[in-house]
Each structure stands twice: as C-alpha cells, then as structure tokens.
Amino acid sequence: MGVKLIKGGTVVNANHIGEADVLIEEEKIVGVISPQSEIAISALHGDTDIIDASGMYVIPGGVDAHVHLQLPMSPEATSSDTFASGTAAAAWGGTTTVIDFAGQIKGTAIPHAIETRLEEASGQCAIDYAFHLSVGDVNNQSLIDLSNMLEEGISSYKLFMAYPDSWYSDDGQILQVMQLAADTGAMIMMHAENGIAIDVLRDQAFERGATGSIWHGRTRPPELEGEAAHRAIQLAVVAGSPLYIVHLSSSNALNEVARARNDGKNVFAETCPQYLYLSLEEHLDQPGIDGVRHICSPPLRKLADGHQDSLWKGLRTDDLSVVATDHCPFCDAEKRLGIDDFRQAPNGLGVIEHRMDLLFQGVLQGEISLQRWVEICSTTPARLFGLQGKKGVIAPGADADIVIYDPKKEHVLGAETHHMAIDHSAWEGVSVTGQAISVLSRGNFVVQNRQFVGEQGHGKFLKRNIPDFLR
C-alpha cells in the first residue's frame, strides 16, 4: 500500500479550508502540507503514488451515525441492504464509517445482542463500522451489562418512547439508563415520539376505515414528537446525562432542542435527508405502493407547515448538529404489507448512498456553508460518538478515510443507477450536482474514479470512546 499523496485539491475540514496536499502512509494521514513544500515536491520524484485531485474537494469520509442494515423489523420484513451491499453503497456515496445498532429485544440479554450483531457484520463490510445499542428491555441486569459494554467500544444507547409493542421504555426505565449514562459519559439517543398516544390514534383511524399511507403521517402528528422531545430533555436534565435526539423531523421537536441548548444543556439532535427534502403532501399522500414506499417514523412532515425550512435553519444555527440517514430500506414486496393497512408497513427508506450529495445541494443552494457540510456529515458525528481524532477530520494521525469530491459533476439519482439493494428509490429522477469520485478507507481505495475496487471484509469494527461533546 505504501505512501500516497493526494495532490492539487482543496482540503475542506470543519474548521479550515485551503489548498493542500494530503500525505498518507499505510492507513493513516501523516501530513497536510503545502503543495510548494519540499516534501510535496520530492514526493513527485519518489515511489509515492500521486493521486490527482485538481479541481476537487478533498474531504474527510462521511460518518453516517444512524443506519439499519439487515435489520429484522418483523418476521416478514428485514431491511434489504446487507452489511455487504449497504456499506458498499455508502462508500459509493462518500461515506466511510457507518454506525448501526445491536438490538436487545425484550426478554433477551444485551451481550447476546452484541455478539449476534458482531457475527453478522464480521467479514462483510467494505468500510469501517460500529454499533450503538438499542435497549428494548431495561432491567437491573441490563444496567449492569450496559456499563460493561463500554469496554467493548459501545458508548451510546438508543431508547424508544415509541413502539409500545416492542422497543418502548417508560419514563422510569428511561431515567435509569440516563442516570447510568450520567455516571459513565455514554450518549443517550432517543426516538422521541409519544408511542402510547400514537397507537390510540392509529387504531382509531384504522377502525373508521382510514387505511392508506397518509394516515401514517396523520396519526403521528408533530405535536407528539415535540411532546416526547420535551419529556426526554427534562428527564436527561434531571439525570444529568447528555441526550441526542435521532431522526428529528419537525419544528415542534426542534424548538425544544433549541431551548435546551440555549439553556446550556448537552442536548443534540440529528435530522435526515428525507425530512429536509420529502414531504407528507408530495410523497406520503400518494395512492398504493407509491405512498407506502414513503412510510418511515417519524413520518414525512407537511411542507405547508414549514418544517423543512426550520430544519435547514437548525442546521445553520447548530440546533441540529448532525445529518444521518436512518437508512432502513425495504423492497416493494415487503412494503406491500402496508397497502391495505398502513400500520403493517415496515418503516424506513433507502438513503445511505445519497446523504453527502443531497446535503451538498444545501451548500449549492446557500442553506449551509461548505465547511458546515463537512461538519454535520462527518466531523460532529465522529465526535459525538467517540471517534474523535480518528474519523471525520483530515489531519495527521487520523485514519486516511478521504473522499475526492467533484463539486461540478451532475448526475441523476434513481433505482437504475444506485447501488443500494432496493428495487425503487425515494429519490427517483432527482438531479444533483456533486459526486464522490474516489473514496479511500484507511488508505485503501474503495471507489477509484467511479469504479468500485473495495473488498468485502476490509471494514473493521470500531471500538468507540466516550463521546466528546463538551468544548
């Protein structure tokens, strides 16, 4: 593998942008140097591999902090991207680290959940990966197991205020896990929707014959996301733990996060491309399979209510710190389960390949700056989930996870050309400008000049540290 020099590009970090060459030795970045420096000039005459990045941005590989690969959502539906296909698709789009979930189902033990997931992913991934823990059964043993998991590199726990039939924890259970996180420094991730109230609304709707996909949205109103976010924040404040609200979709929830952050609390939130670009009126409110394909939770929100504008504003003001995908794709065969009863549709969309490109449109449209793009897609997720210094930055000592990004390349998204294992696309026909041309993971090409040259099994499991969230 040896020494590589990425030459002639514009290096974009969250805190700096400038013309620089990037020197890589084996798996690490060893220098970010002036193109006129002696090292850069002498490299041209040695046996260094020179990678031409003229006219390109050279950015840290994307860190997608929320994905669900081969997730068994129900006995009938498992998310369609495997660890192999999903990590390859991520790399095609300029993401070099994914954080998936090990899930503790009710009545089972946490170590079992982790072992199972490690086995499933081992030898499969094209890029590096890690796991959060979805906690589905909070009891005394779970609390002991959670603190032991820190040594295994699992330093973040997802709790659910939604899904009363499966993943739900009540406020007392949530408080206990938050107290543990306050002691250890682990990160609490929250699915903030009031699932008890939502289930009443869902069943009432179905019983009066309201069965179509639009009712998925109408029975999960933004008020019940705002309420849950408020409650989660108060519980975290009482416990003294950090809190990260996942897949935030509404201005209702965002206002709660903004208030807490103004009060100086360690409260963070992520949104996802689907909430920035897709809507209840245009996508969920379609007949048949077209609407069902867009069922995800929280649901797509009403464009007319201004949620998308609020989310873009939140990304600018840092009330939203991260954009992740919540990638959870299902093919039409599985989505059809929800055609006559929206409650039966497996929840989730396919996004893992397109996150960097979709957010780059925000740069081109003046919603966010170039550096902010890198910060929300790469640097901050690395910091908030214990990968600081290793991922999300182009600096000496960091892993050589690097994307050479052409800001001018125009292309059209869709099922014919994407690499995700899904037979349709929520992004069909969307024209974008900007594309990852070459992608390196720990100094190895995974994508080179738009050819996949990666290897299944190259990706390593990342043991994560305690999150770095205080400045």
Applying CB under 5 A, which residues contact Zn ion? 191, 326
CB 272 within 8 A of CB 325: yes
Q: Which of residues 377-406 bind ligand URP (CB under 6 A)?
A: none
CB 359 within 8 A of CB 315: no
Residue, CB closest to ligand URP:
347
Q: Which of residues 429-448 bind ligand URP (CB under 6 A)?
A: none
The one-letter amino acid at 131? F
Residue 120 CB, shortest distance to ligand URP, in Å, is: 17
Q: Which of 60, 338, 348, 434 binds ligand URP (CB under 6 A)?
A: 348
- Interface map 301-330 toward ligand URP (x if CB under 6 A): -------------------------x-x--
Residue 193 CB, shortest distance to Zn ion, in Å, is: 8
Looking at beta carbons only, is 24 or 328 nearer to Zn ion? 328
Looking at beta carbons only, is 85 or 347 nearer to ligand URP? 347
**Omega before residue 298 within 30° of 0, cis:** yes
Q: Which of 296, 359, 394, 398 binds ligand URP (CB under 6 A)?
A: 296
191 binds ligand URP (CB under 6 A): yes
Q: Which of 87, 297, 378, 438 binds ligand URP (CB under 6 A)?
A: 297
Looking at beta carbons only, is 31 or 195 nearer to Zn ion? 195
Looking at beta carbons only, is 243 or 439 nearer to ligand URP? 243
Residue 207 CB, shortest distance to ligand URP, in Å, is: 23
Residue 348 CB, shortest distance to ligand URP, in Å, is: 4
Residue 241 CB, shortest distance to ligand URP, in Å, is: 20
Q: Which of residues 36-75 bind ligand URP (CB under 6 A)?
A: 68
250 binds ligand URP (CB under 6 A): no
194 binds ligand URP (CB under 6 A): no
- Helix H, strand E, coil C: the string for the chain is CCEEEEECCEEECCCCEEECEEEEECCEEEEEECCCCHHHHHHCCCCCEEEECCCCEEEECEEECCECCCCEEECCEECCCCHHHHHHHHHHCCEEEEEEEEEECCCCCHHHHHHHHHHHHCCCCCCEEEEEEEECCCCHHHHHHHHHHHHHCCCEEEEECCCCCCCECCHHHHHHHHHHHHHHCCEEEEECCCHHHHHHHHHHHHHCCCCCCHHHHHCCCHHHHHHHHHHHHHHHHHHCCCEEECCCCCHHHHHHHHHHHHCCCCEEEEECHHHHHCCHHHHHCCCHHHHHCCCCCCCCCCHHHCHHHHHHHHHHHCCCCEECCCECCCCHHHHHHHCCCHHHCCCCECCCCCHHHHHHHHHHCCCCCHHHHHHHHHHHHHHHCCCCCCCCCCCCCCECCEEEEEEEEEEECCCCCCCCCCCCCCCCCCEEEEEEEEEEECCEEEEECCEECCCCCCCCECCCCCCCCCC
Looking at beta carbons only, is 256 or 399 nearer to Zn ion? 256
Q: Which of 247, 261, 294, 372 binds ligand URP (CB under 6 A)?
A: 247
How far is Cα 299 from Cα 274, in angstroms, rounded to an integer? 9
Residue, CB closest to Zn ion:
191
Q: Which of residues 210-239 bind ligand URP (CB under 6 A)?
A: none
Looking at beta carbons only, is 65 or 180 nearer to ligand URP? 65
Number of residues that bind ligand URP (CB under 6 A): 9
When CB distances are held under 5 to 8 angstroms depending on the partner's kind, the choice from Zn ion, ligand URP, none that residue 347 binds is ligand URP
Nearest of 461, 456, 391 to residue 86 by alpha carbon: 456
When CB distances are held under 5 to 8 angstroms depending on the partner's kind, the choice from ligand URP, Zn ion, none that residue 353 binds is none
Looking at beta carbons only, is 61 or 348 nearer to ligand URP? 348
How far is Cα 349 from Cα 29, in angstroms, rounded to an integer? 34
How far is Cα 336 from Cα 330, in angstroms, rounded to an integer? 10
Residue 124 CB, shortest distance to ligand URP, in Å, is: 20
Q: Which of 87, 310, 347, 444 binds ligand URP (CB under 6 A)?
A: 347
Residue 363 CB, shortest distance to ligand URP, in Å, is: 26
Looking at beta carbons only, is 326 or 353 nearer to ligand URP? 326
When CB distances are held under 5 to 8 angstroms depending on the partner's kind, the choice from ligand URP, Zn ion, none that residue 357 binds is none
Q: Which residues contact ligand URP (rule: CB under 6 A)?
A: 68, 191, 247, 296-297, 326, 328, 347-348
